[in-house]
Amino acid sequence: MLIGYARVSTLAQNLDLQLDALNKAGCEKIFTDKASGAKEERKGLTEALEFIRPGDTLVVWKLDRLGRNLKHLISTIEGLNKRGIDFSSLKENLDTSTPTGKLIFSVMGALAEFERDLLRERINAGLAAARARGREGGRPQKLNDKKIEMIRKLYLEREQSVAEIAKAFDVDRRSIYNYLKK
């Protein structure tokens, strides 16, 4: 059975083009969403994924209608594949029930993994370069050295609790302990 899924990003947009294409392709049931692709929860997609059964094919008009990004798209299609469900995109002429479709999808998956690896590599290289220049990552320190020294003195005098010191300097108690460790 061919199960269709159509999505537009805003309420002002129209599903007619996608619905016409899915009907023409022979979809027996079509689920829809009027929601941004960036949204995690899409009711129509959730219903389609719950409805669809092994041996069925999920059909979309265009790849970007299914996934928020390449990683999400591949993850969704892999999930379908594990359940014995094929996937088809009309615009890109991609059909995972065919050997060519499986190959194209495998290449897409490999490219997505390559992209993630490159991104991780660039981030790590940037962090290493920053560390080599003496920069540390993270949020800038809220208190300067003079205030940290005052905190140390107050703590050692034991006249105020750590909570009171933290409140006086407008920081969390954990921050006081972290400053004292340094």
- Catalytic site residues? 9
DSSP helix/strand/coil, 143: coil
Reported residue count of the chain is: 182
Neighbours of 30 (CB within 10 A): 18
CA distance 155 to 180: 9
The first and second tokens of residue 38, run together, are 């960036």
25-to-1, 30, 31, 52, 173 alpha-carbon distances in Å: 11, 11, 15, 17, 63
**How does strand 86-89 pair with strand 57-60?**
parallel
Tokens linked to 128: 């290493």
Question: Do the strands 2-8 and 57-60 form a parallel or antiparallel pair, or are they unpaired?
Answer: parallel
